[in-house]
Structure 1
């Protein structure tokens, strides 16, 4: 009987312990059903090399505090500089070719117009001379033959004038066609050149963007952790260069217990403020996911005898906040 009684008391104790844990966890989180507590945190991030390069200068040391936008180090890439120089030279040549071809077409058109002008003047002079001959013949006819009526429209001289006028028209038409063909060829040539120039400009912009990335800047206020390289060292792509710990947290891990485990939807907006400080400024945040049920961190435990548990909620917060890393916060 005693053995049976001892066995029962063991399970009674386990049951009471479990109920006590639930009670303490529920009591700890008792209050508003639309809020929870958590810890503000920030993770150290590393700055890596995007491509093979040489360390030109290192401007920071471990433990140094930096501000967002501070230049941390500079890299250089001879291969990249050569590519940029080649593209710049090619662009200069193509732009020069564009101008030269435009001037050549203008010169050719001017020559064609001038040449047409000479031919037109010659034809016009011949027409004027022929008209003078017609007028002279008309006067002579009137002088020797009284009351005569001459039909000049069918005379050889008038036929000659008509022929000269037709030559003049055809010549002008040929000139117009020649100029039009020149302009079309030039437009096609210019379009091809413009496309090549634009393509090279885009390539150059990408290369210049790569070169810009060789200068490493602080993404936010923080403290330099480790510097993994030194000046003059050659590094490969994706090689870690240094690490930085942000001064201000960028995330919050909140903990939900009991009926509050579904109060925050992923993607929903929340506000975060320092716990227990009425005058603390609020900062905006967004729920980005849920974690597992785990034991609460020591700073959130109300009783050291029985540990409380809760489900993790991961929240991304704005960087311009006044919170400290590891600080207890209230999430609503």
Structure 2
């Protein structure tokens, strides 16, 4: 039997209307039957307190009360004389135990009897290992006596002055975020509610600002609702406390009263948004963006960043510029967000030094290297040929050694038995003002690696020189046998007929990550080079020129790259997990 014979042609429209009406009633019943939640609350933020579990000395406070700071800014530098004395005692104990162990091993009978014992069965070995672990623990603590801002915010209170000693767990500095990060609200006990942790809610202010948040906790006891949040302030009320997390980029004021409502939405979408609100991680940035340089620096001069290195104990990057006023270099500190610190690190005892192209670090030493090149007019200047070693301790930096590296290095190339190195020397003589130039360097144990920008023996060819046991260089000694050709490789970009030149390198295990920049074209690249095979792969390509420096963040496993764009200071971040050629 057909549908039209049962209903009739004239009743089809009426049946359609009734069906639509029933459907709408069901939907409205579902929505209206869902539990409406109306909560009054206050937009607040967690105050951050800086304290330590042992007494500390205040070396220097870098901020003032009410000062606005950014995440990663240096707040204070601390000291710990008690840890120094503990470390001296532990080292003395370790040396004595170690001497006793060596003495005992010289006794043939004892060695024979103990040779089969596990290390944990020998009391002397146990004491020796315990002393070593305690030394490592204290040394690690001593490297983390720098206080950095955990969030963007305002300094609330500075409770100690320079030179004072703070007891254990005493709050040194308080930091209040600029924007509220959560809402503290209450559900009246007379209202039934099925609000759950993870539920997405809408947060409104009296001024019309709106955002969405996610419920992170619901109280399990009844408490009195604050008078400010009562609808009738003379009539006391009680309810359950609710904490709602909101995004950091909201427009609410700290302490502002807000109104919270639970909105009907699909559960999958609600959960997805809740996960987004609760997540604090940002996607890896790969496109270059501008550094945030404070006015006190740019009012003096515009830095042209040419090198970058990560300083572990500061948890910051140290950057150097090509040129400085009167050729007196300083170090700039940058956090992971590309924000340059107002505080600049002075380098006492440093001679005038120009055209600084690279920086590296090893242990407590920092190394700076000029380009070793001539000026644009082809003149030789001593300040462009300096290789400097700087001793660093926290924020204190002192020049240890410096030497004119150009002359002995070129002489070593001239006198080398390697024809390829002789060719570099001869090409320099012929190239004139576009001759010998070092754009980057890296240090691995006792060896120094140099990234040669010029002279170019073959188009798109990269050359890395190696100086074995480089320490005697600072005393003016460099033998031809110490200089070798560490790598010779191609840097040809696919799908582009451009010339690339080497501009920096970093050594990571058995690989180099090298930077290249295109001549007369807007492109740069990072290459991964295998030391043993000299095979390169294109790691990352940029559509901007003048890539100048690379550094690896050991905790986030990202490469930070800096560019010199003549008037701007871009930087980029690339994950070490990025695939070859990721745009």
TM-score range, shorter chain: 0.5 to 0.7
Instruction: Verify the 8 A CA contact 2:203 2:210 in the aligned structure 1.
Output: no
Matches within 5 A, 1:242-257: 242-257=173-188
- Distance in structure 1 (CA, Å) of the matches to 2:69 and 2:221: 32
Residue in 1 that maps onto 2:57: 54
Are positions 1:199 and 2:130 aligned together?
yes
Farther-moved stretch of structure 1 (54-63 vs 237-246)? 237-246
- Distance in structure 2 (CA, Å) of the matches to 1:55 and 1:82: 17
Structure 1's 278 and 232: CA in aligned 2 closer, same or farther, altered over 3 A? closer
What TM-score do you get using the length of structure 1 for normalisation? 0.53
Q: Select 1:88's aligned residue among 88, 91, 95.
A: 91
Secondary structure of 2:162's aligned partner: coil
- Distance in structure 2 (CA, Å) of the matches to 1:31 and 1:224: 47
Q: CA deviation at 1:100?
A: 6.4
Instruction: Verify the 8 A CA contact 2:152 2:177 in the aligned structure 1.
Output: yes
Q: CA deviation at 1:76?
A: 1.2
Are positions 1:330 and 2:333 aligned together?
no
1:165-211, Cα deviation, whole Å (9 max, x unpaired): xxxxxxxxxxxxx7xx7433245596333311222233234434554
Q: Which runs of 5+ in 1 are unaligned?
A: 1-29, 109-177
What TM-score do you get using the length of structure 2 for normalisation? 0.32
Name the structure with the higher helix share: 1
- Distance in structure 2 (CA, Å) of the matches to 1:212 and 1:188: 36
Q: Select 1:287's aligned residue among 218, 229, 236.
A: 218
Residue in 2 that maps onto 1:76: 79
Residue in 1 that maps onto 2:35: 33
Secondary structure of 2:225's aligned partner: strand
Q: CA deviation at 1:57?
A: 0.9
Structure 1's 272 and 101: CA in aligned 2 closer, same or farther, altered over 3 A? farther
Q: CA deviation at 1:55?
A: 0.8
- Distance in structure 2 (CA, Å) of the matches to 1:316 and 1:282: 6
Secondary structure of 1:280's aligned partner: strand
Residue in 1 that maps onto 2:146: 215
Instruction: Verify the 8 A CA contact 1:293 1:309 in the aligned structure 2.
Output: yes
Structure 1's 206 and 264: CA in aligned 2 closer, same or farther, altered over 3 A? farther
- Distance in structure 2 (CA, Å) of the matches to 1:326 and 1:227: 22
- Distance in structure 2 (CA, Å) of the matches to 1:318 and 1:201: 46
Secondary structure of 2:211's aligned partner: coil
Structure with the greater alpha carbon radius of gyration? 1
- Distance in structure 2 (CA, Å) of the matches to 1:316 and 1:100: 65
Q: What is the number of equivalent residue pairs in this alignment?
A: 224
Instruction: Verify the 8 A CA contact 2:183 2:246 in the aligned structure 1.
Output: no
| Greater RCO structure (CA 8 Å; 6+ sep) | 1
Residue in 1 that maps onto 2:243: 315
- Distance in structure 1 (CA, Å) of the matches to 2:217 and 2:67: 31
1:83-120, Cα deviation, whole Å (9 max, x unpaired): 12332343355456556655x36xx5xxxxxxxxxxxx
Structure 1's 296 and 33: CA in aligned 2 closer, same or farther, altered over 3 A? farther
Matches within 5 A, 1:236-247: 236-247=167-178
- Distance in structure 2 (CA, Å) of the matches to 1:272 and 1:212: 44
Instruction: Verify the 8 A CA contact 1:270 1:286 in the aligned structure 2.
Output: no
1:15-58, Cα deviation, whole Å (9 max, x unpaired): xxxxxxxxxxxxxxx99625333222124343334333321111
Instruction: Verify the 8 A CA contact 2:69 2:155 in the aligned structure 1.
Output: yes
Residue in 1 that maps onto 2:112: 183
Residue in 2 that maps onto 1:269: 198
Residue in 2 that maps onto 1:64: 67
Q: Which runs of 5+ in 2 are unaligned?
A: 1-31, 263-583
Secondary structure of 1:202's aligned partner: helix
